[in-house]
Structure 1
């Protein structure tokens, strides 16, 4: 099945015939989904940075270690992970 409708999600939502009561519930759902996705992305980046730091230590690459450690510290400060 080929999808030929190339509307954005925002356009789709604007055209929907969702009753007003459900509209506010969907907004809360969208906020929740956004929070969950953001958390997943932050945790994934943290895993990547920890791996890069470990590789830098294994390779005795001080520049890479400093770079990735600084980014990890910033990530932890801003997102509390």
Structure 2
């Protein structure tokens, strides 16, 4: 499932705890606990954004404006670190997504090395791409319909004016447009 190994996650957590001051001391205990349990750590994923995830934790350092700690499970949000320990005992097989907020996180190579994508964002991206494709198809269809209408009007005008050259040219253009839409 995860492309990041347990040892890489452990190494990152130890580095993170050694280099950053958390806004809640209990969060350090939680991260230490996670790093000591290989089976749990297999299901831990560090992500850039925790939106729309079934089970997520937001952790921030003193240099961040984000909330010190938030735990979200199935759209219920809490700020009690102890609740995560209980949840881990009750639901040890669930995936956990952690969003870390600290200074220079976007340029930190150690964070980038353990960063994984939010699976819900990928799902949203696919939906967005499908909607975009559908919109493009509708727009193409509307443009072709408009072009056909315009050509028919111009063909009628050429017949009315008895302009054989314009009629032939416009008829060829219409046939080409009709062939493209098949």
Distance 1:77 1:29 in 2: 26
Partner of 1:39: 141
1:40-72 alpha-carbon deviations (Å, 9 max, x no partner)? 000100000000000000000001100100000
TM alignment of 1:56-71, pairs within 5 A: 56-71=158-173
Alignment counterpart, residue 72 of structure 1, candidates 162, 168, 174: 174
**Aligned: 1:29 with 2:131:** yes
**Segments of 4+ in structure 1 off by > 4 A?**
none
Taking the aligned partners of 2:121 and 2:176, their CA distance within structure 1 comes to 43
Q: Name the counterpart of 1:20.
A: 122
Query: How many residues are aligned here?
Result: 63
**What is the RMSD computed on CA atoms of the aligned residues?**
1.2
Scaled by the length of structure 1, the TM-score of the pair is 0.74
* More strand per residue: 2
Residues 4-56 of structure 1: per-residue CA shift (max 9 Å, x gap): xxxxxxxxxxxxxx822111000000000000000000010000000000000
Provide structure 1 residue ranges, at least 5 long, that are not aligned to the other structure: 1-17
SS in 2 for 1:19: helix
Q: Which consecutive residues of structure 2, in runs of 5 or more, have no partner in the other structure?
A: 1-119
